[in-house]
Amino acid sequence: MLLLKPDAVVRRKLRTALSWLSGQGWRVVYAQRFRVNRWAVRAFWQYQWNTATRDRREMADLYMSATDSLVLLLRAPGDADACSALTRVKGSSDPARCRPGQLRHELGTLNQQLNLVHSADEPADLVREIGICCTAGERAAVYRALDRDDRAEDVARELAARLESEQEPLDLTFAATVDGIRARAHDHPGLTGLLDGRTPAWREIVRQADRAGLPLTRWERVVLGTSLLVPTLPHVVPLVPDASSTASPPRYPGSPLPR
């Protein structure tokens, strides 16, 4: 199972992802749209969520519920274990560790949360996550499609086109977001001072923008938050290791904002 998340929708990456999957020999068996809410967020990552900071939880709630996501059930090329194979080829959630040829690298992952896709790492997760995304009737349809070995590429492309048409295309890069805020804030030295200085806490930028009468959009908050937050609690390990994680420690913010 592959979930193409809201950042993939507003960045117009859904059809690119479908083309990549087809080119790699993956076949879409079933597709539907699904609006993730805060309870689904906790269900998806319930075995790793104990490591998340408050900021990371808040950002996940904010961006995962921003638009519908596209849910795909896939048949792996050859006889591969689909969950394990997809975990390998989708690439790390850390952009620095994504390799050319992997899905997240192809789509242009931005940071450890705005990484465009989520997949079930192993068969037990697959069954559990189908239960998160699908009602009883939808689950029956999923299993019938899998049993018949259906083809649903056309359905997936139609849903992708519809989802993308419903949302304004956005540039979610950090530099573009900061430039957009700075352009509106030229008469507010308190806010521009934060943007022109070294990396501040993202919440302070939001507070200063609110005080200046320049409230940030949902996606501006998301880009600032996911780019500047500390993602994990120190010395806390997940209840169950993430199959797509790496042995490297998380990278913490600390570089200057772009000028």
Q: How far is CA 143 from CA 22, 146, 213, 250, in A?
A: 21, 5, 51, 37
Nearest to 10 by CA among 224, 226, 172, 173: 172
- The torsion region of residue 167 among left (phi > 0), alpha (psi -120 to 50) and beta comes to beta
Question: What's the rounded Cα separation, in Å, for the pair 66 and 74?
Answer: 25
> pLDDT at position 196, please?
75
Q: Would you say 69 and 3 are in contact if contact means Cβ atoms under 8 Å apart?
A: yes
pLDDT at 117: 98
pTM, full prediction? 0.90
d(CA 223, CA 173): 7
Q: Do the bridges between strand 69-75 and strand 117-119 make them parallel or antiparallel, or are there none, so unpaired?
A: unpaired
pLDDT tens, the chain, 259 aa long: 999 999 999 999 999 999 999 999 999 999 999 999 999 999 999 999 999 999 999 999 999 999 999 999 999 998 778 999 999 999 998 999 999 999 999 999 999 999 999 998 889 999 999 999 999 999 999 999 999 999 999 999 999 999 999 999 999 999 999 999 999 988 888 888 888 765 668 898 999 999 999 999 999 999 999 999 999 999 999 988 766 554 344 443 444 454 4
What pLDDT, on the 0 to 100 scale, is given for residue 218? Answer: 97
Q: In sequence order, what are the residues at sequence separation of 6 or more whose Cβ sits closer than 8 angstroms to the Cβ of residue 68?
A: 6, 9, 33, 34, 35, 163
Residue 209: both structure tokens together: 């923008």
The predicted pLDDT at position 256 comes to 47
